[in-house]
Structures are given as C-alpha cells and as structure tokens.
Chains A and B, each alone.
Chain A
Amino acid sequence: ELKVEQNPLFLSMQEGKNYTIYCNYSTTSDRLYWYRQDPGKSLESLFVLLSNGAVKQEGRLMASLDTKARLSTLHITAAVHDLSATYFCAVDTAHDMRFGAGTRLTVKP
C-alpha cells in the first residue's frame, strides 16, 4: 500500500526565515505533486515533479524530487505572511493516488 508521510505537520515560522517541508513515500513513483490549501478553500496546484532530480521554483517556493530516496522537499525562502496555508504533497502511481497529511504553515511577523 502506498504511504505518504509529510513532516512537519505544523510549522510556525517568522517572516524572513527559511524552512523545508519533507515528503516521503513508500513505493516507486515518478509523479509527485504539491498543493496549497488556504483555510476554508479548495486545493491549488503548485508544482508537478515528474522525474528524478526535478526542481521547480515559483516565487519563494522551490520543490525538488529524489525518486531514489523517495523524497520530495518544499523549500520556503524568506517566508512572508501570504505563504500561511496548508501544503500537501501527493504521490501518483499506476494504481493509487495518496496525499500526505498536510503541513500547516503559519508565518508570523
């Protein structure tokens, strides 16, 4: 059974700081997604990572994928309040689709 683990589950950080969210998964997959969810809202696609070594950047967020380690990271650079949200990774195999539990990020002034 495909398992996806995110950590940390809760992250409180100050504006201007850097931090990384980790996403580990249990079976071989070449497709990993990162989504953002604001409170009371739907999920918005941030990144699609399709191959080993893939790196995508958008603003202060950068995502990477290491398929050999079965690990993806979402790095936050110089956090701002607008990044406060819950971030989910999701892994897609031929037979299954699983989301991580989500990382609730709060950026404080």
Chain B
Amino acid sequence: DTAVSQTPKYLVTQMGNDKSIKCEQNLGHDTMYWYKQDSKKFLKIMFSYNNKELIINETVPNRFSPKSPDKAHLNLHINSLELGDSAVYFCASSQELAGRAEQYFGPGTRLTVT
C-alpha cells in the first residue's frame, strides 16, 4: 500500500488555468505538507496543516490554497497558473512521536505550465 499518494503524477496546462493536485496518506498522520521543488532541486515548504492549524509560508502567492476535506487528505488548488509555477510538487505527512516527526513524501506531481 502506498503510504502517501498524489494525483496526477504529471500535469500539463496553460497559463491562466486553475488546477488541483490531490494528496492522500494512509499512515494516520496528523500533519500534512506541500512542498515545491524547482528546476534546481531546491525544496521550499508551502504549507503545513494539521487539524488544528494551517501554517502558510508567507512567500507563497495567495493563488495557492490548501484544502483538507479530512485528516487523510490535503489537496492543493492553484488559481491563474503562471509559467513560474512549473515545478514538482510534493505532498508529505508526519506524526509527532517521541520527539521526532520525520516526513514521508509522496511521489510528486510534475506541473508544467505552458
């Protein structure tokens, strides 16, 4: 069973469109994340979310919004896509346990905006 899954794996779309990426984890974790990895492999955290708190990286444009229908899902919705949004987006989850909270990453979604 895949611990953290994302769909779609590839997403090609035009500028100005709105798209969503879905993420599901079956680990029972209480915190989920979205990361953006650019072409230089640099990883930037976009959001972290648990059932108590949404933490937004202040550098993330408000065109990006996380939506969590339940504890096991954190979807990423992007409005008015721009060329600079092209990247690989990773979802991750973690559980605070005995002082550790290593993250388990999904397979990634490669978004290409044309």
Residues of A at the B interface (CB closer than 8 Å) are: 30-31, 33, 35, 37, 41-45, 48, 50, 86, 88, 90, 92, 97-99, 101-102, 104
Contacts and interface: CB of A to CB of B under 8 A. Distances in A.
Contacts of A101: 40-42
Given A43-B90, A99-B43, A92 B101 contact: yes
B100 A97 contact: no
Given A42-B107, A97-B48, A88 B100 contact: no
B66 interface: no
Contact of A42 (B33, B101, B106): B106
Interface residues of B, number: 20
Q: Is the interface of A mostly helix, strand, loop or mixed?
A: strand
Given A33-B102, A50-B99, A92-B101, A42 B42 contact: no
Contacts of A102: 41-43
Contact of A31 (B33, B92, B101): B101
Contact of B45 (A35, A88, A97): A97
B45 to A, nearest CB: 5
Contacts of A44: 105
Contacts of A33: 102-103
A26 to B, nearest CB: 16
